[in-house]
């Protein structure tokens, strides 16, 4: 098993540099020519600027503008970051030991870098703020969902904890606030087939073999709202949101179901009232039972609750 080459560049903002391997052969005279073709979304003038600033390197050091093309070699660089609106809510630390970090992720903060969200993500913030450059998530939560996320501190153990989630060996409960329907018989298990096409923002339920199951319980109700406990038996994209919507009780603050609303990314006034409340599993390293519970609350269920101020904003890391 080959050892992965260590990058000559350090992390920046908690992010590893991009690594590119050059082809075995090609028509390029210089590394610049190859990079211009390899990175069509980057302006050639920007590539020139990065080369002049010595921001693109190989194992021997920075590449010159006229550096000859070298087949089967590696180069590293940091991508330019998108302009991001700061997410003004902190991450709460629920548990930390030698191997694991469990946090309360606030609403509106993505778990990992993706698309328009890079620095303003839980992974990047935690790597930077806690000085844990090799931290990695064992699973993910949607950006708009708050609650528990488990990260692995020890790189060698990452696969063992990720496998727990892949093999559905983690028992999860969620909490949601949604309309109360006195005619709806609960508890019940909702079963359907959910598909999510790449590039399409919403998932949908379609006829066919069941691939999504959620157990739904009503915990309490008041003022026309219900507080629901959700136990997902599967992990399809937007499963909980779709299943409650299919019951006629869409989650308060949902801007996708039943109707797609055009909400700006920096509008924090109406958080989705969905919270990852508990995680339970048998630790694959120690063999001991583990149980973690979120310390966050869903604001819509609080006395005089409003959904225009995200809960969790006072959590301290």
Q: Among all chains, which residue has been given the structure tokens 């609750």?
A: 305
pLDDT > 60? residue 317: no
Looking at residue 304, its pLDDT comes to 64
Name the DSSP class of 117.
Answer: B
Looking at residue 27, its pLDDT comes to 95
Looking at residue 274, its pLDDT comes to 98
Rounded to 10°, the helix 31-38/44-52 angle is 140
Compute the average pLDDT of residues 192-200.
94
Looking at residue 29, its pLDDT comes to 96
Q: Any idea which of 4-13, 89-98, 166-175 has the lowest mean pLDDT? A: 4-13
Looking at residue 252, its pLDDT comes to 98
Looking at residue 307, its pLDDT comes to 41
97 Cβ neighbours under 8 A, 6+ residues apart: none
Looking at residue 97, its pLDDT comes to 96
Compute the average pLDDT of residues 43-53.
96
Nearest CA among 162, 157, 140 for reference residue 149: 140
Binning pLDDT at 50, 70 and 90, where does residue 6 land? confident
Token pair of 125 as six digits:
């913030």
Across-strand partners of 289? 282
Please state, for a pLDDT cut of 90, what percent of the chain lies above it.
83
Rounded CA separation 19/31 (Å): 14
Q: What is the pLDDT of residues 73-82, one digit of tens each?
A: 999 999 998 8
Across-strand partners of 173? 278
Please state, for a pLDDT cut of 70, what percent of the chain lies above it.
94
Looking at residue 30, its pLDDT comes to 96
Looking at residue 219, its pLDDT comes to 97
Which H, E and C letters describe the chain, residue by residue? CCCCCCCCCCCECCECCEEEECCCCCCCCEHHHHHHHHCCCCCHHHHHHHHHCCCCEECCEECCCCCECCCCCEEEECCCCCCCCCCCCCCEEEEECCCEEEEEECCCCECCCECCECCCEHHHHHHHHHCCCCCEECCCCCCCCEEEEEEECCHHHHHHHHHHHHCCCCEEEEEEEEECCCCCCCCEEEEEEEECCCCCCCCEEECCCCCEEEEEEEEEEECCEEEEEEEECCCCCCHHHHHHHHCCCCCCCCCCCCCCCCCCCCCCCCCCCEEEEEEEEECCCCCCEEEEECCCCCHHHCCCCCCCCCCCCCCCC
| Ramachandran class of 147: left when φ > 0, alpha when ψ lies in -120 to 50, beta otherwise | left
Beta carbons within 10 angstroms of residue 10's beta carbon: 9
Name the DSSP class of 7.
Answer: P
Q: Give the residue numbers annotated as catalytic, written as ranges.
A: 142
pLDDT > 60? residue 104: yes
Token pair of 284 as six digits:
């694959």
Looking at residue 81, its pLDDT comes to 86
Looking at residue 308, its pLDDT comes to 35
Q: What is the pLDDT of residues 261-306, one digit of tens each?
A: 998 888 999 999 999 999 999 999 999 999 999 999 999 998 765 4
Across-strand partners of 77? 18
Helix (H, G, I), strand (E, B) or coil at 189: strand
Mean pLDDT, the chain, as a whole number? 92
148 Cβ neighbours under 8 A, 6+ residues apart: 94, 102, 103, 104, 105, 141, 276, 277, 278, 279, 292, 293, 294
Give the number of residues written for the chain.
317
Which stretch of DSSP H or E encloses residue 174? strand 171-179
Beta carbons within 10 angstroms of residue 16's beta carbon: 15
Beta carbons within 10 angstroms of residue 307's beta carbon: 18
pLDDT > 70? residue 236: yes
pLDDT > 70? residue 87: yes
Binning pLDDT at 50, 70 and 90, where does residue 310 land? very low
- Better pLDDT: 71 or 306: 71
pLDDT > 50? residue 311: no
The pairing of strands 146-152 and 274-282 is: parallel
pLDDT > 90? residue 35: yes
């Amino acid at each position: 098993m080959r050892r992965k080459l260590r990058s000559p560049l350090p992390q920046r903002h908690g992010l590893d540099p991009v690594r590119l391997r050059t082809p075995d052969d090609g028509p390029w005279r210089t590394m610049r020519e190859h990079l211009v073709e390899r990175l069509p979304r980057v302006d050639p003038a920007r590539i020139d600027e990065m080369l002049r600033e010595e921001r693109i390197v190989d194992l021997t050091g920075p590449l010159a503008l006229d550096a000859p093309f070298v087949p089967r070699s590696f180069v590293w660089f940091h991508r330019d970051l998108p302009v991001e609106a700061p997410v003004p809510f902190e991450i709460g630390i629920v548990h930390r030991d030698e191997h694991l970090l469990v946090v309360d992720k606030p609403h509106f903060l993505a778990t990992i870098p993706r698309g328009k969200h890079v620095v303003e993500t839980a992974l990047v913030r935690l790597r930077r703020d806690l000085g844990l450059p090799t931290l990695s998530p064992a699973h993910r939560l949607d950006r708009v969902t708050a609650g528990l996320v488990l990260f692995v501190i020890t790189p060698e153990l990452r696969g063992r904890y990720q496998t727990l989630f892949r093999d559905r060996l983690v028992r999860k409960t969620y909490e949601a606030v949604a309309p109360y329907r006195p005619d709806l018989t609960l508890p019940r298990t909702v079963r359907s087939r959910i598909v999510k096409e790449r590039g399409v923002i919403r998932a949908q339920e379609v006829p066919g073999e069941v691939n999504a199951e959620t157990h739904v319980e009503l915990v309490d109700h008041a003022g026309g709202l219900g507080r629901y406990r959700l136990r997902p038996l599967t992990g399809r994209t937007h499963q909980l949101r779709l299943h409650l919507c299919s019951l006629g009780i869409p989650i308060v603050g949902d801007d996708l179901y039943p109707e797609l609303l055009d909400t700006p990314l920096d509008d924090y006034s109406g958080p989705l009232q969905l919270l990852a409340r508990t995680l339970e599993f048998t630790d694959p390293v120690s063999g001991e039972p583990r149980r973690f519970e979120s310390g966050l609350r869903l604001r819509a269920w609080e006395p005089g609750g409003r959904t225009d101020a995200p809960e969790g904003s006072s959590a301290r890391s």
